[in-house]
Amino acid sequence: MTGCFSLSEAIERTYKSGFKRSGLRPVTIDLKDGTVVNFWVSKTKPESKPKPNLLLIHGLGATAIWQWYDVARRLSRYFNLYIPDLVFFGGSSTTRPERSDIFQAQTLMRALEAQSVKKFSLVGLSYGGFVGYRMASMYADAVEKVVICCAAVCVEEKDMKAGVFKVSDLDEASKILVPESVKKLRELMGYIFYKPALARLVPTCLLHDFIEHALTRDNMEEKRELIKAIPKDRIISEIPKLKQPTLIIWGEHDQVFPLEMGKRLEKHVGDNGKLVIIKRTGHIFNFEKPKKFIKILKSFLLETSKPQIPVSNV
């Protein structure tokens, strides 16, 4: 309802203030082909000691600021952060017809190059993990370390029909993952949380407010097209293997992308990859156990010699 207080808007204002206190500023990159990408980037001081660059790629749902708030404010002292809204999220948009993770990867790389970023590590969360994996394989000379979080990169088209996922119909899955009703949002919450019963306790008015102001009703069909494009013609043997040190992080009870997908990815990456499982979490372990998640990220990304990949699950 217009003119009414929005809790989601209030939270987002708090997040934006927190980003600014962490030394981040918003920038808009126009790629001159009908594509515009919004970023939050670290302010750099000429006299300060250089810091490594880190790209944080969000998943489906709300914009980047919602998904990376805790991580950004805890890692901003160690890295120059680049936090984009993917195309069709936030203010990022395109008039081009492409909907693939390859297009998203190319777009982010062009936007980083426009900011003179030549070397960086990346963390990709859920759908952002698909994009991050593509970036690491396509731009191996630029990407130094890779963290893939709960992204079923090794999914195959046949998996949808084989009953690997809780929802086997891709059209229905896209409607749940990009909800436009409180009913669908509650259904989504039932899949992404370790303790889904908590979803039933959230008042309907707050969920409606979250859809309107955080998820927004913008570009819903385009976002669903992104989801449908993921498994299309996908075969594991054709997925490139990464050369960079790669950390794979998964929630023990993930119901969106089951843990078996994480194990499959670890096997595919081979010696360069290691899977870490965060116990008693679901698909959104970045919210359920943020301190644990950040500790794992720091131990991997801040190692200056040969990256130390955690060897035990937590």
Contact criterion met (CB below 8 Å) for 71 and 82: no
pLDDT at res. 307: 45
pLDDT at res. 179: 94
Q: Is the pLDDT of residue 305 over 60?
A: no
**Token reading at 269:** 């990456």
pLDDT at res. 313: 57
Q: Is the pLDDT of residue 208 over 80?
A: yes
The alpha carbon of residue 281 and the mean position of all alpha carbons in its chain are separated, in whole angstroms, by: 17
- Burial class of residue 313, CB neighbours in 10 A (0-12, 13-18, 19+): exposed
Residue 40 vs residues 22, 65, 91, 112: alpha-carbon distances, Å: 11, 8, 12, 12
Helix (H, G, I), strand (E, B) or coil at 18: helix
- pTM here is 0.93
> Following DSSP, what letter does each residue of 233-281 receive, concatenated?
T--GGGSPPP-S-EEEEEETT-SSS-HHHHHHHHHHHGGGEEEEEETT-
Q: Which of 132-136, 167-171, 216-220 has the lowest mean pLDDT?
A: 167-171
Predicted confidence (pLDDT) per residue in 270-290, tens digit:
999 999 999 999 999 999 999
The residues pairing with 121 across neighbouring beta strands, listed in sequence order, are 54
Mean of the per-residue pLDDT values for the chain? Answer: 92
Residue 293 vs residues 18, 22, 23, 39, 144: alpha-carbon distances, Å: 19, 19, 22, 23, 20
Q: Is the pLDDT of residue 311 over 50?
A: no
Predicted confidence (pLDDT) per residue in 43-98, tens digit:
987 656 789 999 999 999 999 999 999 999 999 999 999 999 999 999 899 999 99
CA dihedral of 212, 216, 217, 221, whole degrees rounded to 10: -150
Say which residues have a Cβ less than 8 Å from residue 197's Cβ, sequence separation at least 6.
none
Cα–Cα distance, 257 to 249 (Å, whole number):
12
